[in-house]
Amino acid sequence: MKNFKKLVASFVMCMSLLAINPIVAHAEWRQDSNGWWNTEGSSWSVGWRQIDGKWYYFNADGYMAHDTTIEGYYLNSNGAWINNVAAQNSTSYNSNSSSSASKQYVDSNGQGLIKGSKSKIYHVPNSKYYDKTTNVVQWFKTVEEAENAGYRAPEK
């Protein structure tokens, strides 16, 4: 009986310690030659995950999707769903006139995704400074539209 009481007391103490210091599964970003993934304990993220306030999509192998549209939501080069903007329906229109094909950058509502900044520079989705451009003054659907409004491409 004495051993049983010690066993019960030990069990109660262990449970108390676990209640005070719960075991937490840690998540962290990892990268290999195939791309980025996010660990979830001893596994990896699959599907949509919100990490640090941004939404990411991980395929069945756990790798983060980027520069693509998933389930109607555009993911930038960093893999994040940008600006809560729905799908980027990039469509090329060819004309038989002397002008070249014009690529449209629009969301599912037909709103332009090209950012026109205060400094009169435009940035297309997936470009180097697109996500860093927060001082958007005007939105455009095509590069030609931005240039006709007096904006120029970034120098870098």
136 vs 138: CA distance, rounded Å: 6
pLDDT at position 14 is 64
- Give yes or no for residue 69 having a pLDDT over 90: no
88 vs 33: CA distance, rounded Å: 27
Q: Could you give the domains of the chain?
A: 28-81 (2.10.270.10), 103-155 (no CATH)
Report residue 117 as tokens: 């900044």
pLDDT at position 102 is 60
pLDDT at position 16 is 64
Are 46 and 23 contacting, i.e. CB atoms less than 8 angstroms apart?
no
Beta bridge partners of 104: 91
pLDDT at position 152 is 92
Q: What is the pLDDT of residues 8-27, one digit of tens each?
A: 777 767 666 555 655 445 67
